[in-house]
Structure 1
Amino acid sequence: MLAQRTSLFDSSGTATARAAAKVAAAAGRNIIDMTAGEIWIELAPTIREGAIDAINRGVNRYTDTIGMMELREALAWKVSLDTGMIWKAEEVSVTSGAKQALFNAAMVLLNPGDEVIIPAPYWTTFPAQVLIAGGVPVFVGTRSSGYVPRVDDIKAAVTERTRVIVVNTPGNPTGAVYDVETLIAIAQLVINRNLWIIFDECYGNFVYGHYTHHSIVSVAPEVRSRTIIVNSFSKSLALTGWRIGYLAGPKEVINAMKALQSHTTSNPNVIAQHAVLAHLQRDDGGYENKLRSQLTGARQVGLNVLSSMTRIPVPEAQGGFYFYLDLSGLLGPPPLTNGAKKTADDVVNTLLSEAGVAAVSGTAFGDTIGLRLSYGIPTEELETGLIRLVEVLDAWNDTTI
């Protein structure tokens, strides 16, 4: 008999979609995989050199539980530049990816029954970790407001049990970028109601057009003492497999996380720590600019193809590297619990079988009529895959299986 908590969550919806793509490819099919939240690009030279140097020096010992002091100092400097506020190493923790940072935050902030407000569509791990920590996810819909929540809707969701508001900008899966006014209003609500903010900015390096990413503590400095900033090198340096994330927050919160992490993973991978430190010390911004340029080009290629869709609006794709499609033009409004309407799951299955395109259903993000497509893949594959996708979706009808 398994622990009861295992019934509260399933495997990550994005991981399940990736697995389905791999199975189809292993069967010999030509599959274009747009499921993964990662970018196809060569490793940054500074990362490679930093890792090799550490290996050649025989680095293989434990570091401090929450990361080497030199790395935390470098990260404190980075967060200071990003926010326009002074941060110290004692306010920074290095983690095994942003997922561990978020997990640590949930575990040290939440008591059983505490409520966490999560705008929807949401990254699938947000509610899962809240449930693991004994909390209660409370979802606030954003579809009708361009995927940025209305503050009045957040206020309406606050109860005496509310403990945390999750702010994810640019958003995964939608790519929505929060405007300054919304961030300030959320910060004021948090202060007035004595809440916490978990501020996930893992996609903050990637915004397009006239949109700008703002840290919430930059636009509302008074909320700093109630904010946990979460970030990662998985996206900004295309290091998904290296598992290096970090967070910044009040010293007492970092201390609690250190104690927790000492009983879970201990320190993050030491070679990856040295590699990231080398990058922070030596990089001139050239690699990040190259990464942004690649994604900017891929985004434009993708939007050009998607603009030919006849029944689905072209996504704004304000930030991150996903196209999030609103399938209501194909499927109608979300079905009732016992309804028989087709959902995004059916669209995903059809795309995989008929177009050889793997996508992530919005059901993974609490949205039965959404579809996420990553444009972090090679541009040639992206264009081919989207042409196939448009052809299938334009031909969609109620009898499509």
Structure 2
Amino acid sequence: MMCIAESSDLMSTPQDTSARCPVGNHHHFEIASATLAQRTHLFKLSKTATAKIAAKDAATSGKEIIDLTAGEIWSDIAPSVREGAIAAIDRNLNRYTDTVGLLELRHAVACKIAAETAQPWSAEEIAVTNGAKQALFNAAMVLLNPGDEVLIPAPYWSTFPAQIVVAGGTPVFIETRHTNYVPRLTDLAAAVTSKTKAIVVNTPNNPTGAVYDYDTLAGIAQLATDRNLWIIFDECYGAFAHAPHTHHPILSVAPRARNRTLLVNSFSKSLALTGWRIGYLAGPKAVISAVKALQSHTTSSPNVVAQHALLQHLDSGDTGFQTQLQRGIANARALGLSILSELTSVPHPCAQGGFYFYLDLTELLRRMNSNGGRTNADDIVTALLMDTGVAVVSGTAFGDPAGIRVSYGIDLQPLEKALRRLTAALNGWR
């Protein structure tokens, strides 16, 4: 099943966006919404960010709020990263680097990808970016022409369609809720038209936690090859595939698809460095050259201290911190699955990868709405926040009105408390 995104799916409702100075004569500071560019109506604040804001607002009332909205891990900094950052500061490194990152860092990233894909890579095929979001934005801007269609399995991370629309493209959503959140190849093939330019592949998946198997990735690569499509492969959660599931970099599965594949990754998840904003895009030299030109007019080079910190980490070859992080996430997952196994009206989540539990509320909502009600995931999220002090993200942020995303990247004690509250609330609603 598929649907092409209507404009209303991504457009915010026109509102009074007037901005007023809180003191003094503020008449001269009013801004009419009509003066803003039309593209500002194509997107709105990320609903994951909105959920986090709601949690913070609720906490200001003095109520204990346990925030399970964030796509990040509670962790200290890896010693090798810390040492690299401090060394960079001690050396007074404060100038621009190359637009797409230090040559040495790009070489180190190329070596990392070579080890993961069993293929040689060069620094000229790597662009270091301000997080994976910029890598995705760059990809959309250099690949898409107005009207180009991009296939996106749904539920989806909300930034995927938002950036495609900003670039002038059209998202086409492929429903996966009835196929264990992994797209069927027949559904993808049926959605391809003469306007289709690319397929977004996100595994382990945000928000669902699904890990795409080897055969699915091989089939997607073959479809892209047969229909002359680009593959945008987002593997930001690749370090967190939970046994018996395995993360397969798509180019390790289908090396022949290399000339039509862009790899998107970051260190935000694997090293718990969300605030450092450092990621990368890897692909054909012609694409990276175009990205370099684009980035020279947007952000220029990524943060120089962060770059040197990551270079120190990659050169050290130290995997101990990441192993420790993975062990902590595995423990949190085991605890969470144990608690959520007590759910009675909600299927138990699979949580194959990443650090989210994705709960399907379809049956619960059906029961709650059996008398003609219109309760959806947004209402459940609001009730959980108000009644239990637990903040989660509504599936409407991901194109699913019957799901909620629950992060388990926090410390075990608050996680246990939050999940027990959540389970009791969902079991108690009729």
Residue 246 of structure 1 aligns to a residue whose secondary structure is strand
Contact 2:235 2:263 survives alignment (8 Å): yes
- Residue 79 in 1 paired to residue 118 in 2? no
Question: Is structure 2 residue 408 aligned with structure 1 residue 375?
Answer: yes
1:314 corresponds, among 331, 336, 348, to 348
1:12 equivalent to 2:38? Answer no
Determine whether 1:396 maps to 2:429: yes
Render the CA deviation track for 1:105-142: whole Å, top value 9, x for unaligned: 00000000000000000001000000000000000000
Q: Which amino acid aligns with 1:352?
A: L
SS state at 2:268 partner:
helix
What does 1:121-132 align with in structure 2 at a 5 Å threshold? 121-132=155-166
Cα distance, 1:356 vs structure 2: 0.3
CA distance in 2, matches of 1:267, 1:235: 21
Cross-structure match for 2:72: 38
Match of 2:418 in 1: 385
Q: 1:40 to 1:185 in 2, by over 3 A?
A: same
RMSD (CA atoms): 1.2
Q: Read off the aligned partner of 1:246 and give its amino acid letter.
A: Y
1:131 maps to a residue whose letter is V
What is the Cα deviation at residue 334 of structure 1?
Answer: 12
Structure 1 segments of 4+ aligned residues over 2 angstroms from their partners? 332-335
Distance 1:334 1:236 in 2: 39
Q: Residues 80 and 318 of structure 2 are in contact (CA less than 8 Å); yes or no, is this contact kept in structure 1?
A: no
Which residue is equivalent to 2:89?
Answer: 55
Unaligned runs of 5+ in 2: 1-34
Per the alignment, residue 392 of structure 2 pairs with: 359
Q: CA deviation at 1:382?
A: 0.5
Unaligned runs of 5+ in 1: none
The equivalent of 2:196 in structure 1 is 162
Deviation at 1:329, TM superposition (A): 1.7
CA contact (8 A) 1:124 1:365 kept: yes
1:108 maps to 142
1:64-115 Cα offsets, whole Å, 9 max, x none, are: 0000000000000000001111100000010000000000000000000000
Deviation at 1:154, TM superposition (A): 0.5
Change (3 A) 1:334 1:363: farther
Q: Secondary structure at the match of 1:236?
A: coil
Larger Rg: 2
Q: 2:299 maps to what in 1?
A: 265
For the 8 Å contact 2:368–2:375, the answer to whether it is kept is no
Pair 1:332–1:75, CA change in 2 (3 A): same
Contact 2:200 2:233 in 1 (8 A): yes
Q: Deviations over 1:258-311 (max 9, x none)?
A: 000000000000000000000001142100100000000000000010000111
Q: Secondary structure at the match of 2:248?
A: coil
- Superposition deviation, residue 10 in structure 1: 1.0
Q: C-alpha distance in 2, partners of 1:53/1:382?
A: 36
Q: CA deviation at 1:247?
A: 1.3
Which whole-Å CA distance do the structure 2 matches of 1:254 and 1:299 have between them?
37
1:377 counterpart letter in structure 2 = I
Q: Partner letter of residue 22 of structure 1?
A: K
Alignment-mate amino acid for residue 223 of structure 1: A
Counterpart among 230, 234, 246 of residue 264 in structure 2: 230
Could you tell me how far apart the structure 2 residues matched to 1:215 and 1:94 are? 19
CA distance in structure 2 between the aligned counterparts of 1:174 and 1:88, rounded to whole angstroms: 33
**1:27 CA drift (Å):** 1.6
Amino acid at match of 2:210: A
